[in-house]
């Protein structure tokens, strides 16, 4: 399946509103590039049939759609009795505890009880993306009492934030995460997202646990607090991708800083040739309405104009009334604004080339930007690891880039990279001149056309004789 020329990728969260086969199929046709499974709500085995159903749809459509497992990690969640929402009126108290043993007030259970060591009277507890606030009024043997600062509706498994608290005692990964990594290895997930990534050590820990399971998925580090921002350079270096998770980030830092921090992270990721996703509340009103607000449309547009690789839908597709329309709307906004997004030129960055593949990619970009050269219609990158493709992607070129790989896992992981149209081809099925055969296959799939000028790039470890470390201009 080859869906249009939109370059910005769309990540859609799968939930009750979207996990039927029919809706999943419609989401793919609407333009979804990656299915995200938020693993924070249920035990690992509950996700198995949902992921299997998504994979069946992907296979049926012949689509190239990635699978993202989003782990809980240090993310703090509240559990309610019988999973029912709790209504707390302004001024009433709620008990936050390690269990439900308290009976003199309504209570919730906290996923990481170690937080009670950090809380003091007067501290704020924020729930559900900061919409509801409580003030700690008393510490107990197994938690705290806190007073509602307004009418609150506390729902099961909603996130909890403690602004200005450094919760270093919460581990990067929990036993629950280990169970879900087991499932990820079995289901061959393409991406693993680490919530509240605080430093490179969190990424290293995740890689160690993944290695134990022979899981080589790309790691997406979610930046959600000041500690993550403080260590952003080392986190980018250690990760395969970054998610700007603005929901929790906008609670953990002053809200007026979000746009500037978002812009800086996108720039840093592009300079490092790392994928970057902009996430949270992008089309939030479409949870209830069939059209977004003007501000939301502008937010998606600005993310594209900043140069993000991907934009993400959360509640809009997981629980909203219009999951497919939300994807269609996001795709339409992204497609229009890409034309006005600035292209990064090789002279715009002082980053040194990392090896031959990086140098080849830079040279190719310089050739495309040199308007005195012959017009180039498309780029074909032969890639084994995906690195050359990600370098090309970071420049945000206007022309399509086709990443050809015989590694099916890499073809899935490049689904998140801006402007890259990945395709898996089994080179061994061809005899004789494999390059000619691959070109013919791309023509049959309507990815290239007769008469087009195509720039062909191949890195140093590619498995076709005589084209390694090369750039060639080829007329179809």
Please confirm, yes or no, whether 222 is among the known catalytic residues. Answer: yes
Which pTM does this prediction carry?
0.90
| 9-74+171-337 CATH fold | TIM Barrel (3.20.20)
SS3 217: coil
| 346-475 CATH fold | Pyruvate Kinase; Chain: A, domain 1 (3.40.1380)
Please confirm, yes or no, whether 308 is among the known catalytic residues. Answer: no
Smallest CA-to-CA distance from 163 within 31, 251, 249 is with 251
Give the sign of the dihedral formed by CA 270, CA 275, CA 279, CA 283.
positive
Q: Which residues lie closer than 8 Å to 416 by C-beta, 6 or more apart?
A: 9, 11, 33, 34, 66, 191, 218, 241, 275, 277, 309, 310
SS3 104: coil
Query: Which entry of 6, 36, 362, 421 is annotated as an active-site residue?
Result: 36
pLDDT at 428: 80
pLDDT at 346: 60
Q: Which residues lie closer than 8 Å to 420 by C-beta, 6 or more apart?
A: 389, 390, 392, 393, 401, 402, 403, 414
pLDDT at 1: 42
Please confirm, yes or no, whether 53 is among the known catalytic residues. Answer: no
Query: Which entry of 278, 280, 405, 415 is annotated as an active-site residue?
Result: 280
Query: Which entry of 6, 9, 40, 77 is annotated as an active-site residue?
Result: 77
Q: Tens of pLDDT along the chain (476 residues)? A: 445 689 999 999 999 999 999 999 999 999 999 999 999 888 999 999 999 999 999 999 999 999 999 999 888 889 998 889 999 999 999 999 988 776 667 899 998 888 888 899 999 999 988 889 999 999 988 899 999 999 999 999 898 988 877 777 788 898 999 999 999 999 999 999 999 999 999 999 999 999 999 999 999 999 999 999 999 999 999 999 999 999 999 998 999 999 999 999 999 999 999 999 999 999 999 999 999 999 999 999 999 999 999 999 999 999 999 999 999 999 999 999 999 998 876 655 555 656 677 777 777 777 777 766 678 889 999 988 898 899 999 999 998 999 999 999 999 999 999 999 999 998 888 776 777 888 888 999 889 898 888 998 886 455 555 555 678 888 88
Please confirm, yes or no, whether 398 is among the known catalytic residues. Answer: no
Query: Which entry of 222, 325, 362, 396 is annotated as an active-site residue?
Result: 222
The CATH number for 76-161, chosen from 2.40.33.10, 1.10.760.10, 2.60.40.10, 2.60.120.650, is 2.40.33.10
The one-character DSSP state at 5 is S
| Residue ranges covered by each domain of the chain | 9-74+171-337, 76-161, 346-475
């Amino acid at each position: 399946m080859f869906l249009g020329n939109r370059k910005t990728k769309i990540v859609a969260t799968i939930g009750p509103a979207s996990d039927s086969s029919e809706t999943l199929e419609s989401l793919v046709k609407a333009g979804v590039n990656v299915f995200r499974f938020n693993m924070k709500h249920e035990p690992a085995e509950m996700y198995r049939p949902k992921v299997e159903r998504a994979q069946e749809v992907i296979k049926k459509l012949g689509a190239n759609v990635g699978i993202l497992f989003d782990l809980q990690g240090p993310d703090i969640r509240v559990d309610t009795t019988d999973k029912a929402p709790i209504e707390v009126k302004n001024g009433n108290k709620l008990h936050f505890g390690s269990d439900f043993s308290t009976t003199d007030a309504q209570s919730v259970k906290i996923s990481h009880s170690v937080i009670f060591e950090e809380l003091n009277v007067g501290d704020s507890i924020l729930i559900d993306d900061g919409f509801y606030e409580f003030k700690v009024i008393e510490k107990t043997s197994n938690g705290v009492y806190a007073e509602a600062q307004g009418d609150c509706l506390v729902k099961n498994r909603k996130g909890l934030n403690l602004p200005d608290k450094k919760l270093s005692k919460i581990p990067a990964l929990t036993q629950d995460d280990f169970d879900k990594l087991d499932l990820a290895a079995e289901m061959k997930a393409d991406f693993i997202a680490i919530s509240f990534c605080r430093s490179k050590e969190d990424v290293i820990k995740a890689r160690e646990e993944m290695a134990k399971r022979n899981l080589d998925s790309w790691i997406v580090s979610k930046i959600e607090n000041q500690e993550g921002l403080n260590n952003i350079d080392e986190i980018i270096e250690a990760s395969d991708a970054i998610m700007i998770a603005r929901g929790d980030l906008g609670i953990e830092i002053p809200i007026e800083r979000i746009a500037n921090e978002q812009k800086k992270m996108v720039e840093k990721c592009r300079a490092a040739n790392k994928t970057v996703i902009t996430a949270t509340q992008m089309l939030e009103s479409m949870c209830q309405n069939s059209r977004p607000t003007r501000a939301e449309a502008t937010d998606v547009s600005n993310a594209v104009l900043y140069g993000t690789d991907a934009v993400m839908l959360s509640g809009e597709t997981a629980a909203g009334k219009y999951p497919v329309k939300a994807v269609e709307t996001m795709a339409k906004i992204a497609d229009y604004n890409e034309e006005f997004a600035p292209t990064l030129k090789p002279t715009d960055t002082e980053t040194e080339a990392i090896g031959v593949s990086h140098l080849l990619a830079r040279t190719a970009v310089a050739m495309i930007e040199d308007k005195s050269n012959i017009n180039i219609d498309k780029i074909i990158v032969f890639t084994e690891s995906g690195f050359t493709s990600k370098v090309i992607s970071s420049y945000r070129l206007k022309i399509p880039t086709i990443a050809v790989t015989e590694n099916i896992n890499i073809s899935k992981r490049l689904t998140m990279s801006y402007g890259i149209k990945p395709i898996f081809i089994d080179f061994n099925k061809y005899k004789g001149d494999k390059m000619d055969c691959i070109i013919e296959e791309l023509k049959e799939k309507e990815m290239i056309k007769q008469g087009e000028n195509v720039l062909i790039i191949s890195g140093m470890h590619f498995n076709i004789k005589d084209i390694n470390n090369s750039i060639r201009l080829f007329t179809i």
